[in-house]
Structure 1
Amino acid sequence: MTFFEHGLGAEGLPAELAALRAHDLPVRGGKVTAYVYDTGRPGVHAAAAAAYLEMLEVNMLDPTAFPSIVEMERQVVGAVAELLGGGHGIFTSGGTESVMLAVKTARKPGGTIVAPVTAHPAFHKAADYLGLEVVPVPVDLKTFQVDPAAMANAIDERTCLVVVSAPSYPQGVVDPVAEVAAIAAERGVPCHVDACVGGWLLPWLRLAGAEVPPFDLSVPGVTSISCDLHKFGYAPKGASVVLFADPAMRRKAYFASAAWPGYTVINATVQSSRSAGSLGGAWATMRALGRDGYLALARACLEATVRLREGIGAIDGLRVLGEPSSSLVAFTSDTIDVFVLADEARRRGWFIQPQLSYAGIPANLHITVTGVTLSGVSAMLEVIAESAAAALERGPAVLPEGLVELIADLDLDALDDATFASLAASVGIDLTSRDQPEMAVVNKVLDALPAKVRESILVRFLSVIYS
């Protein structure tokens, strides 16, 4: 494309933006069961958006220039610390940045991160950025929790950080935090709890009557914990907190440089200049909802999750994986192609997130239950039942003969983007389309390939769609 010759004017932008978003999944209403977190309370989201806009141009680079950000961050981080056993925190742009900072404080040359195979890829990303290696530990294929003894066996003199999840995203189960943290403490290794999903959910679920095991900084041996506020804190995207038990660890997360003749550089996060919009949105969401609001949302999540688990279990051919302690539900089937089921649900206006098989865990579908889900849980179950029946009738996705072997043997780095796009088009995958596509064949191909080949394909896919 060429750059716009003339400005459109503010009055012309809404229509153009609406046209660009015509093929997006909806962010409100509960029919998209991943990526977005909806309270079902439009006024709360409107208040957060207004605060976001108010703080949009405030730069968090220099807290002495904008003291409002210091007070807002103190309140937001303080609320998280109060809920998660104390500690000293930093407001970040999301779970990946929170994880990155936690890894930064613990890293050592040639170090390793010992983590369950269900731990979020953010730890692999942090290891890639910071020159470390992840040592993956298998999980129990019935409970999907990691075995403390297996974690202990994986720790050695190179280990700089031990990781557990509360909960792990794929199946929504909480790892045995207390047992693993005790082992880490005995070995003198920091233990990070990835509670990006559950940090602002599990405490409220506990207050709502759910059984939630100990997982936060009050657990001996836990040295840091991450908590996303743009998930079950219902804040606009770009809001997370990482807490450290020791203020000295928090200081290790900071970056300062005086080796230049310009302005003073001291950063609490990976970013330097950053908008305070997300901080304002998180602060406003917390202030709008308060304790009673979050507790009511947790009760709605809990009821919806119970109904969803029971309802899915009653659908012929489907079974829920594990016993989630959170409001994340994953289900699979031995007789129905779950990728086809996901496409059938999308045809009916619902997005249910596919998850590929890995480390003995079968391919499955994932639902994140949020505050709005309860109002539509009956409709969701009807759609899942209809989609399961339709998927059974259609049969599994059929791959062109030899395609998987062909892709596995390809030198993907030797293909340019145009050739890769042509190869995809030859099997019916149009990478240039803006429509919501059927993904069963794509997911089936990815599911049949080793993880490293999957990663190479996904990188090429991203390169093509942005070219």
Structure 2
Amino acid sequence: MTPGVPADQVLDELRTLRAGDLPTHGGRTLAYVYDSGLSGVDDLAATAHAMATATNGLDPTAFPSLLRMENEVVGAAVRLLGGGPSTVGTVTSGGTESCLLAVQTARDARPDLSRPRMVLAETAHAAFRKAAHYFGVEAVTVPVDPATFRADPDAMAAAIDDSTVLVVVSAPSYAHGVVDPVAAVAAAAAERGVRCHVDACIGGWLLPYFRRLGVAVPEFDLSVPGVTSLSVDLHKYAYCPKGTSVLLHASAELRRPQLFASAQWPGYTMLNSTLQSTRSGGPLAAAWAVLRHIGDAGYARLAERTLAAVAALRSGIEALDGVRVLGEPVASLLAVAGTDELDVFTVADEMTARRWYLQPQFGFGASPANLHLTVTAANHGTEPELLADLAAAVAAARAAGPVRLAPELLDAIAALDPDALTPAQFAALLSAAGLDGVTAPKRMAEVNAMLAAASPRLRERLLVEFLGAMYTPDQV
């Protein structure tokens, strides 16, 4: 038998592993992570998490502390996001689970429909397409305005039919940081007796404070007539640890199909409010502690710092020759596209070399390839350095010129059938991309150019194969 490893050695190994990750603090990773820049918040969250990590949210009667904390967290979201006395909510593991549950609940509220449908603006988060895949709901995708990237209310209304169970709008959309015309779309949905969900996962804890600071934020929350549910992630701009989101429903009646019970087996009667059964109370306790500690006044100050950073970065980017901001973002997300023949994927590589992470986004519909920036409070004060490095990265990318794939490689990509892709074809593409197995190279521009040349369906299949190859157990 293999002996255990001393605790100190295990932690040393973990520190070594973590050294290769993107930084989670300091504002240099402009995707995936959210940094308040406040001292002590991480320690508070970690301590609260540890105090509740062994508890189980499966049974609130066994752990009443979790029930109380969840109701208080949901209550804070209700007050911030236009809820009323009838509003109810659930703490979930993240935005995707909140979105999945919104779709599942809308579907199960209409058991009379054999082929339910939901109407999505094409900028709706991919989590809703995941929900469509999981729950057998047809996703009807509606193009957005090609200049503003906001949903078209008339087109959304026209897409609603007798089989529609849900209409989805974003506040804001992840790709471009714009807020859809929620009021008009929700009114159209209500007129047809259809639920309307607002995906405010990334903006829900920030936009109300932006409005207090004078930003012209369109109405988007539960106070808007016709909005029946809303999701907001606490591990984003509430700056809580990963693993907490809130799904709000306008009433308990609307939420009821989300709740699951099963007594048809000899064990305990299963009763769940989320997709999970057993769930540690650690993330909930951490979120509860951070919300109470920062408080409304603290979030207002963090929003002010974030808004200042967004304004400085947007102004600096728009003054930089060769790049432009897409749409009219009102939140904290910026999508930066290149002009002329500037290769934004090369810009991303150059920024990585300068210790910044900007997330590449492939072209889709009217949206060209671009770089995504999630701006947080921690970016306030670092704007001059980021803009200087971006200017240098743009200059380097312009000097290098665009990535040009060989015609025969483009032909090979075009000839691939996503539904019939073989392991040999996948291996050949890896080799053509200069990849040794599934270890990503330090520079990704050529790989991204290859993926951009693939159709969205083929890109999905290639990345699924890549993901499956990455998650292969170590052989010891």
Same fold (TM over 0.5): yes
Question: Alignment identity in percent?
Answer: 54
CA deviation after TM superposition for structure 1 residue 419, in Å: 6.3
| Contact kept? 1:210, 1:302, Cα under 8 Å | no
Structure 2 vs 1, CA of residues 403 and 18 (structure 1 numbering), >3 Å: closer, same or farther? same
Deviation at 1:104, TM superposition (A): 1.2
**Change beyond 3 A, Cα 1:404–1:56:** farther
The correspondence for 2:397, drawn from 383, 391, 396, is: 391
Q: Which moved more, 1:74-83 or 1:422-431?
A: 422-431
Task: State the alpha-carbon separation in 2 of the partners of residues 69 and 193 from structure 1.
Answer: 26
Correspondent of 1:78 among 54, 75, 79: 75
Give how far 1:204 is off. Answer: 1.3
Of 50, 57, 61, which aligns to 2:58?
61
Q: Secondary structure at the match of 1:225?
A: strand
Whether 2:332 is the aligned partner of 1:327: answer: yes
Q: Partner amino acid for 1:102? A: A
CA–CA distance in structure 2, aligned partners of residues 209 and 322 of structure 1: 20
Q: Does the CA-based 8 Å contact 1:59-1:273 persist in structure 2? A: yes
Equivalent-residue separation in structure 2 for 1:69 and 1:418 (angstroms): 51
Q: Is contact 1:421-1:464 (8 Å) kept?
A: no
Give 2:38's aligned amino acid. R
Which residue of the partner structure matches residue 316 of structure 1?
321
**2:383 aligns to what?**
377
Q: Which amino acid aligns with 2:103?
A: V
**In structure 2, distance between residues paired with 1:28 and 1:75:** 28
Asked if 2 retains the 8 angstrom alpha-carbon contact of 1:400 and 1:427, the reply is: no
| Cα separation, 1, equivalents of 2:329 and 2:257 | 34
Could you tell me which residue of structure 1 aligns to residue 232 of structure 2?
Answer: 227
**Residue equivalent to 2:47:** 50
Shift of 1:279: 0.4
Range that drifts further, 289-298 or 439-448: 439-448
**SS class of match (1:402):** helix
- Runs (4+) of structure 1 exceeding 4 A deviation are 411-419
Partner of 1:361: 367
Q: Which runs of 5+ in 1 are unaligned?
A: none
Q: Which residue of 2 aligns with 1:35?
A: 32
- 1:188 alignment partner, one of 190, 193, 205: 193
Partner of 2:436: 430
1:236-287 superposed Cα distances (whole Å, 9 cap, x missing partner): 1110000001211212111110001101210000000011111011111101
> TM-score, normalising length from structure 1?
0.96
Distance (whole Å) between structure 2 residues aligned to residue 222 and residue 174 of structure 1: 14
The answer (yes or no) to whether the contact 1:39–1:371 under 8 Å persists in 2 is yes
1:400: how far off?
3.1
State how far apart, in whole Å, the 2-side matches of 1:412 and 1:139 are: 27
SS of 1:42's partner is coil
TM-score, normalised to structure 2, is 0.95
Deviation at 1:407, TM superposition (A): 2.6
Who is 1:23 aligned against?
Answer: 20
Structure 2 match to 1:253: 258
The one-letter code of the counterpart of 1:18 is R
Q: Hey, what does 2:97 align to over in structure 1?
A: 97
Answer yes or no: is the 8 Å Cα contact 1:417–1:463 preserved in 2.
no
State yes or no: 1:244 paired with 2:245: no
**Residue 290 (structure 1) aligned to one of 292, 295, 305:** 295
Taking the aligned partners of 2:422 and 2:52, their CA distance within structure 1 comes to 42
Give, in whole Å, the separation in 2 of the partners of 1:465 and 1:404: 25
1:88 counterpart residue number: 88
Aligned residues of 1:312 and 1:318 also touching (Cα < 8 A): yes
Aligned AA (1:11): D
2:464 to 447, 459, 464: 459
How far apart are 1:205 and its partner, in Å? Answer: 1.1
**Alpha-carbon offset, residue 426 of structure 1:** 3.5
Gaps of 5+ in 2: none
The residue that corresponds to 1:7 in the other structure is 4
The answer as to 2:343 corresponding to 1:346 is: no
Matched position secondary structure for 2:89: strand
Partner of 1:172: 177
Higher mean Cα deviation, 104-113 or 311-320? 104-113
Call closer, same or farther: CA 1:315–1:31 in 2, change over 3 Å: same
Q: Which range is displaced more, 217-226 or 274-283? A: 274-283
1:203 is aligned, of 202, 208, 215, to: 208
Alpha-carbon separation, structure 1, partners of 2:262 and 2:239: 35
Q: What's the offset of the Cα at 1:437?
A: 2.4
CA RMSD across the alignment:
1.5
* 1:161 pairs with 2:158: no
